[in-house]
Structures are given as C-alpha cells and as structure tokens.
C-alpha cells in the first residue's frame, strides 16, 4: 500500500485533530494562510507566529495539489520538484505529488541557482514548485529550465516567469484523485553526492517509503498522543522519515523554524512535545546554555519530553552523558542511514541500549548489515572494513547513472556505504572513519573538492587540501591546509576575506598554513593530514567537552 493511505485513514478517523503546526518565532517571510481564498499579501507582511492544520485539511490540500497537477498533464512516472523552506504547505504538496503517481523530487534549500538547474535537469523534473525565498535563484535559471517545464510559485506576489500555484490549486477538487499506486511504482528521488560534490539522483519506490514509515514507528514507538518536534529541513530524508512515525500513529508534529536553545525548549514546552530529533550542534547549544545559566530548565514544561534522538553525524558519547545529567529520564537513540537507504534507521542504537552510546547500533527493522574488505568479502568480527547494508529501503538505483549504481550496489542489492566500521563482541557497529572525504558539519555535507577548487583561484595559493577536524558543536569543521606560493605573503584574514564569496556554510572554519602532502600519483594524502592534525583537535575537543 502507498503511504498516502495513512493520510487518508487519519483524515477519516481523526478529521479535526491537529496534524501539523508551523512555528515561526523569528522569521518574517510572507506566506499565505489559506488556499481556498487567495488574496495578495504585502511583501513585508509578517508570518503568523503559529499556524496549524488538521488531518482533514492536510488531506484536502494534498488532493487539490494532486488534481491540479493531473489537470496540467502530470501522469504516473512524471517528476515534480519541491524547493521550499519548512512550512505547512510542504508535506501536503509532497503527498499531493505522490497521490498523482508522479515522483516527488525534494531539493536542498541551500542549493545555488546552478545546483538547482543541475538537479532539475538530472532528475528530468517536469514541474518545479518553489517558494518566496528562492525567487532570485530561480529567476537566474528560469530561461534555461522553463522549456517543457512548469514553474509554479507558492507564495504572495507571483513573479512574471512563473505561474501562481496557490491560486490554481484553490480551484480544484478536494476529493481523492483515486490513482492506483502499486508498491513497486517509483515514489521519490532524493539527492546525494560524493566527494566531487556533483549530486546523484537516488530513486526510491513506494514500498521503500512505506517501510521507512513502519520502521520509524517500530523503532521509536510513536503513539497517537505523541507530539514530534521537527526542526531539520523536510527535503532531507532524516526529517521526513522520522516524521513518518507521526503519520503512522496519527500524532501531531510541530515544524519549527528556529534552532536557538530558547526557541527549541519553548516549542517543546508550549506544544507539549514528547519526541525531539536534534542534530549535535543544537544539543550542544542547549547544554552550553544550561551550563552558563543563560537558559534555565525550570522555566519550561519539559516533563512530557520522553525521547531525544540524534542522527546525520557522529555523536560524541561525552555529550550524551552530559545530556543525561540534565535529563536523566530521557530515552535516547541514535540512527544511522543515508539517502540511498531512505534515510535513518538501517542501523540504530535502540532506546534500550544507552549503555552502548558511541555505537551506531545494530541492524534496523528488517535490515541486514555486514562489514567487508576491499574485495567485498566479509571480515572477521573486530576487524575494520566497509559497512554494507541490505533491506527494504535500499534505492532502486542512481537515476540515469548505471555506472555509479554498480559502484555502490551489487546484484544481491547490498549497498556499500563508503563508511568504515567495526563490530564488537555484542554485535554493535561503530563507525571509525569514512572512505569518502565528505565532511559532515552540523548535519550538512561539505564537499572538499568544491572548496579546494574555489581556493585554488586565489593567486597566492600554491596548493590546498580541505579536511574535516573534530568540533564539539558541529561534529566536524572544514579545515583548509594551505601552501603559499614562494615569494607571496598571505594571512588568515586574507583567506577569510576571499572566502566571503562562498556561501557561509561552505567557508573553512580553520586555516592552517603548511605543506600539502601528495603521493607519487599526485593525490593529496588526506589520511596523513587527518592523522597529523586530527588527534590534537580531538583531544582538545574532548577536554573541552568534559569541563
């Protein structure tokens, strides 16, 4: 069955119960409050600080989206891209796409105009639905992508190069389109990247989406009276697949736009949240605020908060131990996954295994795992090798890229993750390193080659290597080892000024002036650099965490 049936069940069984809440404590981006009666809202109109929709309205919105897309010629197998910030429209649009039998294609809201164009073309998207935050970026590429593609704008003040999504959708029926969807029909394309930074389109079936939903509810036991606080972006498999637990249980979810400790704790308190998924930086910020007294736990109603879980990056065990000092009654879990496995859960710690903090856990619900050597032969327990996973959420393929698919998946549908791991005597898996050089900073992937290529354009730089070094808040930070040309002088301030041309999240957080080692074939010896600089930073980071 498709996961859209859970939505229809919830709308029938609990029509007037709140499904989604959108909280905008600090944001002043214009949005519309209704799809039925469209009216132009002035650009500086402040967003309502709190909006909500019921399960019945959620389902009606999804049906209108589906019926509008079908009327515009969208059929099973077509692709519809979503470029929106977290908002009340996001999930109804996603489910509306699924109800047509088309393939939903969420896009990273950090993408530059060039990256948006690349991904739209790579996925062969027939429609792009975008929000007000992206007008400038989409306008840059509108002429290149509008040919044979429908550009729909979800927001006030529709730009001339797009059509008004809100006004169109309001005119269509709220009844189900009744398109037959089978388990092996394609449902979604998500994007991932290797160390080169070029995204790959990851194709998944409806059966995979359904399993992700059932698995999440199985792992964390969401019930009807649970409220899930969702902070990460919904384009990310992690955020959406964790929310799927609320979909299965019929519970409320809160979409929070804001990540300060005060904002998070106030949302938990005001909305009576029971399940919260945090990234390491946000958890660390809360601990720091509690430690320095800028936030006081007793100012908030937190007794109902039962589960805090973390994913998307390695989790420092010392941080979780400190968390339990403040929240001793919390259940804790960590989840490992990748977009190719439909997000988190193919390996998970389990709330009953807090004594194993530091491990990523054991195989998730209906998943298998193994550790293999370079020939993909299973190694002995206790030996380091590459982690491979197999289960119902493994991707179909990298869309239109059979060569890349063969590199990571064999004929038996084992997915080779590129992460190096070890299994202990109790069967728990631990990550020890990554074969890929991707840096995970604050839950976001940074691609060293992109940063290196940019830095190479700076005249004084002779050579550069970008690696990840430990950081107590972000997990890792991008660190640039820079070799200056003979006869040139350059300071850290010069580098930082030059890097202002980069998006803020891609800028190196630390600069080291030193020789860049390369092997005889010309490849940068990044393992040597991580060993040289990483140990000292890890010790310093752990010492800081423990004080």
CA 244 – CA 253 distance, rounded (Å): 10
Helical (H) or strand (E) element with 275: strand 275-278
Number of neighbouring beta carbons within 10 Å of residue 267: 24
The conformation of residue 524, written as its DSSP 8-state character, comes to B
Hey, which of 140-149, 222-231, 307-316 has the most confident mean pLDDT? Answer: 222-231
Bridge partners (DSSP) of residue 337 are 344
Share of the chain above pLDDT 70, in %: 90
Q: 3-state class of 174 per DSSP?
A: coil
Query: Which tops the pLDDT comparison, 384 or 82?
Result: 82
- Residue the block writes with tokens 């992508």: 145
Give every CB contact of residue 465 below 8 A, 6+ residues apart in sequence.
448, 452, 480, 481, 516, 524, 526, 529
Domain 439-545, CATH: 3.30.300.30
What is the bridge-based pairing of β-strands 461-471 and 475-484?
antiparallel
Domain over 4-258 is classified CATH 3.40.50.12780: yes
Residues 387-401: what's their mean pLDDT?
97
Q: Please provide the distance, in angstroms rounded to a whole number, between the alpha carbons at the two ends of the chain.
A: 51
Give every CB contact of residue 242 below 8 A, 6+ residues apart in sequence.
216, 220, 228, 230, 277, 309, 335, 343, 344
pLDDT at position 110, please?
84
CB 71 within 8 A of CB 172: yes
Chain centroid offset of residue 76 CA: 26
- Architecture per CATH, domain 306-434, reads as Roll (2.30)
CA 259 – CA 254 distance, rounded (Å): 13
pLDDT grade for 524, boundaries at 50, 70 and 90: confident
pLDDT grade for 535, boundaries at 50, 70 and 90: low
Give residue-wise pLDDT tens across range 233-281: 999 888 899 999 999 999 999 999 888 999 999 999 999 999 999 988 7
pLDDT at position 53, please?
97
pLDDT at position 361, please?
95
pLDDT at position 50, please?
92
pLDDT at position 379, please?
96
- Domain coordinates of the chain in residue numbers? 4-258, 306-434, 439-545
Hey, which of 150-154, 315-319, 472-476, 501-505 has the most confident mean pLDDT? Answer: 150-154
**pLDDT over 60 at 219, yes or no:** yes
Average pLDDT, the chain: 89
CB 63 within 8 A of CB 87: no
Helical (H) or strand (E) element with 448: helix 448-455
Per residue, the 3-state secondary structure of 327-389, as one string, reads CCCCEEEEEEEEHHHCEEEEEECCHHHHHHECECEEECCCCEEEEECCCCCECCCCCCEEEEE
pLDDT at position 523, please?
64
CB 492 within 8 A of CB 511: yes
- Residue the block writes with tokens 């010069």: 494
**pLDDT over 60 at 46, yes or no:** no
Residues 24-53: what's their mean pLDDT?
51
CB 276 within 8 A of CB 254: no
Give every CB contact of residue 4 below 8 A, 6+ residues apart in sequence.
62, 95, 98, 99, 181
Number of neighbouring beta carbons within 10 Å of residue 33: 11
CB 271 within 8 A of CB 246: no
CB 248 within 8 A of CB 202: no
CA 8 – CA 508 distance, rounded (Å): 47
Which DSSP string corresponds to 76-129?
A: TT-EEEEE--SSTTHHHHHHHHHHHTPEEEE--TT--HHHHHHHHHHTT-SEEE
Give residue-wise pLDDT tens across range 400-457: 999 999 999 999 999 999 888 899 999 999 987 666 677 888 887 787 877 887 898 8
pLDDT grade for 539, boundaries at 50, 70 and 90: low
pTM reported for the whole predicted model = 0.82
CA 256 – CA 121 distance, rounded (Å): 31
The conformation of residue 96, written as its DSSP 8-state character, comes to H
pLDDT grade for 542, boundaries at 50, 70 and 90: low
- Residue the block writes with tokens 């730009």: 159
Give residue-wise pLDDT tens across range 168-201: 999 899 999 999 999 999 999 999 854 345 789 9
Residues 295-317: what's their mean pLDDT?
89
pLDDT at position 264, please?
96
Give residue-wise pLDDT tens across range 448-491: 877 887 898 898 998 899 999 988 888 889 999 999 988 889 99
């Amino acid at each position: 069955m498709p996961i859209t049936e859970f939505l229809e069940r919830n709308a029938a069984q609990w029509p007037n119960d709140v499904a989604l809440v959108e909280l905008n404590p600090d944001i002043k981006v214009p949005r519309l409050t209704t799809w039925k009666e469209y009216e132009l809202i002035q650009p500086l109109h402040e967003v309502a600080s709190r909006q909500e929709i019921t399960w019945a309205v959620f389902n009606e919105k999804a049906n209108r989206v589906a019926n509008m897309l079908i009327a515009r010629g969208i059929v099973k197998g077509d692709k519809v891209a979503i470029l929106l910030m977290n908002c009340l429209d996001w999930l109804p649009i996603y489910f509306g796409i699924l109800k047509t039998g088309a393939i939903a294609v969420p896009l990273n809201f950090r993408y530059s105009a060039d990256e948006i164009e690349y991904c739209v073309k790579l996925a062969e998207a027939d429609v792009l639905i975008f929000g007000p935050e992206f007008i400038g970026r989409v306008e840059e590429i509108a002429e290149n992508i509008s040919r044979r593609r429908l550009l729909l704008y979800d927001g006030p003040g529709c730009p001339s190069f797009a059509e008004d999504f809100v006004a169109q959708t309001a005119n269509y029926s709220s009844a189900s389109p009744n398109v037959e969807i089978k388990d092996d029909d394609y449902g979604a394309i998500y994007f991932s990247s290797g160390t080169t930074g070029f995204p790959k389109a990851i194709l998944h079936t409806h059966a995979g989406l359904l399993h992700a939903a059932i698995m999440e509810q199985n792992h964390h036991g969401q019930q009807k009276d649970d409220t899930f606080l969702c902070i990460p972006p919904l384009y990310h498999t992690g955020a959406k697949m964790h929310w799927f637990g609320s979909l299965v249980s019929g519970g409320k979810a809160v979409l929070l736009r804001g990540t300060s400790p005060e904002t998070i704790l106030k949302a938990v308190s005001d909305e009576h949240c029971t399940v919260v998924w945090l990234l390491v930086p946000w958890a660390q910020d809360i601990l720091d605020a509690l430690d320095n007294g800028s936030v006081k736990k007793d100012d908030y109603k937190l007794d109902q908060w039962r589960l805090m879980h973390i994913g998307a990056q390695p989790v420092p065990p010392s941080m979780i131990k400190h968390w339990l000092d403040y929240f001793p009654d919390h259940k804790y879990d960590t989840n490992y996954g990748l977009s190719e496995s439909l997000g988190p859960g193919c390996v998970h710690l389990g709330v009953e295994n807090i004594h194993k903090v530091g491990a990523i856990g054991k195989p998730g619900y209906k998943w298998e795992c193994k550790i293999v050597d370079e020939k993909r032969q299973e190694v002995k327990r206790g030996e380091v090798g590459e982690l491979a996973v197999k289960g119902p959420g493994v991707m179909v393929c990298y869309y239109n890229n059979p060569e890349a698919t063969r590199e990571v998946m064999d004929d038996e549908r084992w997915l080779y993750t590129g992460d190096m791991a070890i299994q202990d005597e109790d069967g728990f898996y631990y990550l020890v390193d990554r074969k890929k050089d991707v840096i995970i900073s604050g839950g976001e992937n940074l691609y060293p080659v992109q940063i290196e290529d940019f830095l190479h354009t700076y005249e004084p730089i002779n050579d550069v290597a970008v690696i990840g070094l430990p950081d107590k808040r972000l997990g890792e930070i991008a660190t640039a080892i820079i070799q200056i040309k003979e006869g040139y002088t350059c300071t850290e301030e010069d580098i930082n000024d030059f890097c202002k041309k980069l998006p803020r999240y891609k800028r190196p957080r630390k600069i080291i002036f030193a020789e860049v080692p390369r092997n005889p074939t010309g490849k940068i010896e990044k393992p040597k650099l991580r060993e040289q600089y990483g140990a000292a930073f890890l010790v310093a980071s752990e010492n800081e965490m423990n004080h």
